[in-house]
């Protein structure tokens, strides 16, 4: 966890939950980290685990088969996981956005051939007993949804009257990356969805990507988030990539 965060206690619901219980939607969304166009990037869990105990990942290009084959969190073991029906998610089954799509947003069908069959998979992970709190939280919840980032945000948070604590936008794949709209652009539908949420705003934005130095991040950070808390290059990227991450706080 980043040292700039205060460690939060393990929520009661997470310490006692059973994966076969009805989906605790409100608990999952409260104080959550929301990460659209996520792929298999575990960095938000690594850097925000303990500040948050619930992670909502969204990507319409990852099949359920690929997810189950790739899902893994180092020194954590999965103590339970199951697929969740769209009706159980308490959002529109077809995940159509509540806010209207505008011309500036782009064409939602631009990469229709890359969109997988929608699904949601909920899992709970527990830290190895040989490791302590310095390694990360005792437990965390992880909900992965194959859906559009903006539409899913609206379906989850608008419908349930909540807002996440942090939104991550990291190398979201604009252009040839498979994303039909720009997540960095504050005038397009993801930012409009997050910033226009009548139930509140996230406290933080976690921005990143290849070549995302401070100057570049200042040019893309959303209005109202001008306080840069920390900017760093993750150790795992120093050789393989030329990328960095920046944590921005709400003014």
Q: Where are the domains of the chain?
A: 12-210
Q: Which two tokens stand for residue 128?
A: 């190895």
Average of per-residue pLDDT across 126-144: 89
The band of 237, judged by pLDDT with boundaries at 50, 70 and 90, is low
6: exposed, middle or buried (C-beta count within 10 Å: 0-12, 13-18, 19+)? exposed
CB 40 within 8 A of CB 59: no
Share the mean pLDDT of the chain: 91
- Residue 144 predicted with pLDDT over 50: yes
With 60 as the cut, is the pLDDT of residue 238 above it? no
Q: What is the pLDDT of residues 177-186, one digit of tens each?
A: 899 999 999 9
Region 112-131 average pLDDT: 93
Please check whether residue 122 is in contact with residue 19, taking contact to mean a CB–CB distance below 8 angstroms. yes
What's the pLDDT score for residue 92? 46
Work out the pLDDT band at 88, boundaries 50, 70, 90: confident
Instruction: Look up the pTM and report it.
Output: 0.95
CB 146 within 8 A of CB 37: no
Distance CA 126, CA 138 (A): 6
Of the given ranges (3-7, 94-98, 210-214), which has the lowest mean pLDDT? 94-98
What whole-number percentage of the chain has pLDDT above 90?
80
Res 21 pLDDT > 70: yes
The model's confidence at residue 93, banded by pLDDT at 50, 70 and 90, is very low
Mean pLDDT of 57-82: 96
């Amino acid at each position: 966890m980043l040292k700039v965060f205060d460690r939060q206690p393990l929520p009661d619901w997470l310490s006692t939950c059973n994966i076969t219980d009805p989906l605790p939607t409100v608990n999952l969304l409260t104080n959550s980290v929301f990460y659209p166009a996520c792929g298999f990037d575990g960095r938000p869990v690594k850097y925000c685990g303990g500040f948050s105990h619930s992670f909502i990942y969204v990507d319409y290009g990852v099949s359920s088969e690929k997810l189950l084959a790739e899902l893994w969190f180092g020194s954590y073991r999965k103590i339970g996981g199951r697929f969740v029906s769209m009706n159980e998610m308490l959002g529109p089954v077809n995940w159509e956005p509540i806010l209207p799509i505008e011309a500036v947003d782009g064409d939602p069908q631009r990469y229709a051939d890359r969109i997988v069959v929608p699904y949601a998979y909920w899992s709970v992970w527990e830290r190895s007993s040989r490791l302590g709190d310095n390694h990360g939280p005792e437990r965390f919840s992880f909900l992965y949804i194959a859906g559009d980032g903006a539409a899913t945000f609206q379906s989850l948070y608008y419908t349930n009257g909540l807002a996440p604590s942090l939104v991550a936008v990291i190398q979201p794949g604009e252009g040839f990356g498979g994303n039909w709209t720009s997540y960095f652009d504050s005038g397009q539908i993801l930012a409009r969805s997050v910033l226009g949420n009548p139930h509140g705003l996230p406290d933080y934005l976690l921005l990143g990507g290849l070549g995302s130095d401070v100057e570049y991040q200042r040019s893309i950070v959303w209005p109202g988030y001008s306080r840069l808390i920390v900017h760093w290059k993750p150790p795992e990227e120093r050789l393989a990539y030329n990328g960095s991450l920046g944590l921005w706080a709400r003014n």
